[in-house]
Amino acid sequence: MTSSSSGSLDASVAARLKRSSDGLVPAVVQQHDTGEVLMLGWMDDEALARTLATGRATYWSRSRQEYWIKGETSGHRQWVREVRLDCDGDTLLVKVDQEGPACHTGRRTCFDADRLTVPGHADD
Amino acid sequence: MTSSSSGSLDASVAARLKRSSDGLVPAVVQQHDTGEVLMLGWMDDEALARTLATGRATYWSRSRQEYWIKGETSGHRQWVREVRLDCDGDTLLVKVDQEGPACHTGRRTCFDADRLTVPGHADD
């Protein structure tokens, strides 16, 4: 989609990746220094390859069915510091430096607004 | 599955939840005080209801096709402190107090073993 973002996924990484039936893997996105969980995105092989090659977090939008470079329109870019694959090869952890809010609502994270009740911890 | 784990999901929560085609929602599991991302599990309405009712993290195992109370066999239990729903209603953040290692490999988190290379940050 952009001239700087092509490249295929390293074969050894591709071999370790376990994708869901739609070819995607969930990517948990965490602010590298504070530990805040910012959002969850989805990557296919190409999105992961672009993320690793460019250092800019790139996802597959399931609703729009297209690649999406975080911050490309909003300016709220994610600079990738580290990518980890979990023990089963079916989840990514992407540690980033987030510019501004990660959430399209303007909140810092996508998990800031809706807290469910857990008995015994309502007042934490 | 156990006498303490029944109960249906609160209707207002169920109405906000957006499930994938298999009826599941990814649940990012985070150690409540250190911020470590421990693992990613999957919940359906029943697993979420049991988690909220019991305070013990309960998932749906996609491989075994059954409910699974974290730590039930290993003893590495997850005591739930907080559950949050994201802005789109399609991802949960479960903040827990993890007993022992979260990963079945014996590592603290499921993301401890496999780090992918990101140019410019290899030595972080």
pLDDT tens by residue, A31-72:
999 999 999 999 999 999 999 999 999 999 999 999 999 999
pLDDT in tens, A98-112: 999 999 999 999 999
pLDDT in tens, B62-82: 999 999 999 999 999 999 999
pTM value?
Answer: 0.91
Phi and psi at residue B33, to the nearest 5°: -100, -40
CB contact under 8 A, A87 and B81: no
CB contact under 8 A, A30 and B53: no
Cβ contact A94:A27 at 8 Å: yes
For an interface test with B, give the residue of A29, A81, A93, A97 to mutate (most B CBs within 10 A): A93
Q: Give buried/exposed letters for A7-40 (b at 16+ CB in 10 A, else e).
A: eebbeebeeebeeeeeebbbbbbbbbeeebbbbb
Q: How high is the pLDDT of residue B117?
A: 79
| Min Cα–Cα distance to chain A from B79, Å | 11
Q: Which residues of B touch A85 (CB under 8 A)?
A: 111, 114-116
Cβ contact A123:A59 at 8 Å: no
Q: In the block, which residue shows the tokens 């510019």?
A: A99
A56: nearest Cα among A10, A4, A108: A4
Cβ contact B101:B107 at 8 Å: yes
Q: How high is the pLDDT of residue A118?
A: 74
Confidence tier at B7 by pLDDT (50, 70, 90): low
